[in-house]
Amino acid sequence: MTWHWIHRALPHHQETNVVFFRGTTLDALTRELLGQQRVPLAYGKETGGWGLMMHDMSGWDSGDHYSLTDYGRLCPEGAELVVFVTEPCLGKAHGPGFEYHRDGKLITGFSFEGPDDGVGAEPDLLLPALTAARLTGPQENLDGDDTEERIVAAVAGFFSLPELDFSLPELGLS
């Protein structure tokens, strides 16, 4: 299996969340993340209407290792966030997670361990895309080392997300 960002988005940073955003600014998103004691690690230029921010999952306060980022606060009226939690609990071997927020509300979300078990206002929003990718439904195929990459591809296709370009200087990876 080749490396894919869903397994570790940034070198030397475990438990990094990858956030695609539109309808809000990088500055506003950064201020809200800092307000929740989350360190912004990298950002990408807006592509196809979507911006990109990567941040530490955990807060910098030593007592804040387990609370989740409140993406509702990061998503004002008119904004959308597509969030990938790349390693929600590396030590316990839990799989990645996904959330989609619009206008400050969780619209849909799921664990990669059960992509057909959605939560939110529209838990089944992505079922057609996941079924077409054979990740749910009667033709489900969750075997193989590429399942997480296939989930990312189905979500990215549904939302028309840009490819992550790790050669961008602002990501600090080139």
Both structure tokens of 28: 């506003």
Tokens representing 114 are 């059960």
Please give the radius of gyration of the chain, using alpha carbons only, rounded to the nearest integer.
15
Q: What are phi and psi of 42, to 5 degrees?
A: -160, 155
Q: Could you list the mean pLDDT of each consecutive 10-residue stretch along the chain, which spans 174 residues?
A: 66 80 95 92 86 87 69 96 80 78 97 92 96 88 84 96 69 46
pLDDT in the model for residue 167: 56
Which pLDDT score is estimated for 128?
95
**CA gap 19, 147 in Å, rounded:** 20
- How far is CA 11 from each of CA 15, 99, 124, 174, rounded to the nearest angstrom? 11, 23, 33, 12
Q: What is the SS3 assignment for 173?
A: coil
- Would you state the structure tokens that stand for residue 74, as one six-digit string? 């990061």
Q: Return d(Cα 124, Cα 130) in angstroms, integer.
A: 10
Report long-range pairs for 164-172 (Cβ below 8 Å, ≥24 apart).
Answer: 164/5, 164/9, 164/18, 164/44, 164/52, 165/44, 166/5, 168/44, 168/45, 170/42, 170/43, 170/44, 170/45, 171/10, 171/42, 171/43, 171/44, 171/54, 172/42
Spans of all domains in the chain: 16-60+67-171
Q: pTM value?
A: 0.87
